[in-house]
Amino acid sequence: MKRYDFRAIEKKWQRRWDEERTFRTLAPGDPGFDRTRPKFYVLDMFPYPSGAGLHVGHPLGYIATDIVARYKRMRRYNVLHPMGFDAFGLPAEQYAIEHGVHPRVTTEKNIETMRRQLRALALSYDWERGLATIDVGYYRWTQWIFLRLFDSWYDEKEDRARPIADLERLFETGELPADGRAWASLSAAEKRAEIDSRRLAYIAEVPVNWCPALGTVLANEEVTPEGRSERGNHPVYKRPLRQWMLRITAYARRLLDDLDLVDWPEPIKMMQRNWIGVSEGAIVRFEVVGRAETIEVFTTRPDTLFGATYMVLAPEHPLVDALAPKERQAAVAAYREAAAAKSDVERQADARTKTGVFTGALAVNPATGEPIPIWIADYVLTGYGTGAIMAVPAHDERDFAFAKTFGLPIRPVVLPDASWLESAGTTREAYLRDPAALEAPFTGDGEGVHSSNGEVSLDGRDTPGAVRAMIEWLERRGLGRAKVQYKLRDWLFSRQRYWGEPFPILHGEDGSMRAVDESELPVLLPEMDDFRPVTGDDPNIPPRPSLARAPESWRVVQKDGRRWERELNTMPQWAGSCWYYLRFIDPSNDGRLVDPEKERYWMEPNGVDLYLGGVEHAVLHLLYARFWHKTLYDLGHVSTKEPFGRLFNQGYILANAYTDERGVYVDASRVVEKDGRFYIGGAEVRRSYGKMGKSLKNAVTPDDVVSEYGCDSFRLHEMYMGPIEVSKSWSTHEIVGMHRFVLRLWRNFFDEKTGALRVTDDGPPADLARLLHKTIRSVSDDMEHLRFNTAISALIELNNALVGMNRLPRALAEPLVLMLAPMAPHLCEELWEALGHETSLARGPWPTHDESKLAVEEVEIVVQVMGKLRGKISVPQGATEESVREKALADPNVARHIEGKTVRKTIYVPGRLLNIVAG
Confidence check: pLDDT of 737 > 90? yes
As a whole number, mean pLDDT of residues 429-450 equals 95
The C-alpha atoms of residue 645 and residue 609 are separated, in whole angstroms, by 6
Q: Is the peptide bond before 605 cis (omega within 30 degrees of 0)?
A: yes
CATH architecture of structural domain 858-918:
Roll (3.10)
Pick the CATH number of 22-143+578-649 from 3.40.50.620, 1.10.10.10, 2.20.25.240, 3.40.50.300: 3.40.50.620
Q: What is the DSSP string of 233-247?
A: --B-EEEEEEEEEE-
Confidence check: pLDDT of 1 > 70? no
As a whole number, mean pLDDT of residues 741-769 equals 93
With contact defined as beta carbons under 8 Å apart, do 297 and 310 qualify? Answer: no
pLDDT in tens, 167-197: 999 999 988 887 778 898 999 999 999 999 9
Q: Where in the chain is the domain with CATH 3.40.50.620?
A: 22-143+578-649
As a whole number, mean pLDDT of residues 865-885 equals 91
What amino acid is encoded at 221 in this protein? E
Let me know how long the chain is: 919
Q: Is the peptide bond before 371 cis (omega within 30 degrees of 0)?
A: no
Q: Is the peptide bond before 522 cis (omega within 30 degrees of 0)?
A: yes
Highest mean pLDDT among 592-606, 678-692, 903-917: 592-606
As a whole number, mean pLDDT of residues 89-95 equals 86
Mean pLDDT of the chain: 94
Q: Which residue has the higher pLDDT, 837 or 876?
A: 837
pLDDT in tens, 367-384: 999 999 999 999 998 877
Confidence check: pLDDT of 632 > 90? yes
Confidence check: pLDDT of 348 > 80? no
As a whole number, mean pLDDT of residues 757-761 equals 94
pLDDT in tens, 543-557: 889 999 999 999 999
The C-alpha atoms of residue 529 and residue 92 are separated, in whole angstroms, by 16
Model pLDDT, residue 611? 98
Confidence check: pLDDT of 514 > 90? yes
What amino acid is encoded at 549 in this protein? R
As a whole number, mean pLDDT of residues 399-425 equals 96
With contact defined as beta carbons under 8 Å apart, do 282 and 302 qualify? Answer: yes
Q: Residue 890 to residues 151, 858, 863, 884: CA-CA distances in angstroms?
A: 91, 18, 11, 10
Confidence check: pLDDT of 385 > 80? no
Give the CATH fold of the 278-486 domain: Isoleucyl-tRNA Synthetase; domain 2 (3.90.740)
The C-alpha atoms of residue 312 and residue 297 are separated, in whole angstroms, by 10
With contact defined as beta carbons under 8 Å apart, do 568 and 548 qualify? Answer: yes
Model pLDDT, residue 570? 97
Helix-, strand-, coil-residue percentages of the chain, each rounded to 5 = 40, 20, 40
User: Where does the pLDDT of residue 616 fall: very low under 50, low under 70, confident under 90, or very high at 90 and above?
Assistant: confident
User: Where does the pLDDT of residue 694 fall: very low under 50, low under 70, confident under 90, or very high at 90 and above?
Assistant: confident
User: Where does the pLDDT of residue 127 fall: very low under 50, low under 70, confident under 90, or very high at 90 and above?
Assistant: very high
With contact defined as beta carbons under 8 Å apart, do 464 and 441 qualify? Answer: no
Cβ contacts of 577 within 8 Å, gap of 6 or more: 46, 86, 133, 621, 624, 625
The C-alpha atoms of residue 130 and residue 25 are separated, in whole angstroms, by 12
With contact defined as beta carbons under 8 Å apart, do 570 and 494 qualify? Answer: yes
Q: Where in the chain is the domain with CATH 1.10.730.10?
A: 736-853
User: Where does the pLDDT of residue 95 fall: very low under 50, low under 70, confident under 90, or very high at 90 and above?
Assistant: confident
Q: Residue 130 to residues 31, 127, 583: CA-CA distances in angstroms?
A: 21, 5, 10
As a whole number, mean pLDDT of residues 399-412 equals 96
Give the CATH fold of the 736-853 domain: Isoleucyl-tRNA Synthetase; Domain 1 (1.10.730)
Q: Where in the chain is the domain with CATH 3.90.740.10?
A: 278-486
Confidence check: pLDDT of 351 > 70? no
Confidence check: pLDDT of 800 > 90? yes
Q: Where in the chain is the domain with CATH 3.10.20.590?
A: 858-918
The C-alpha atoms of residue 822 and residue 122 are separated, in whole angstroms, by 10
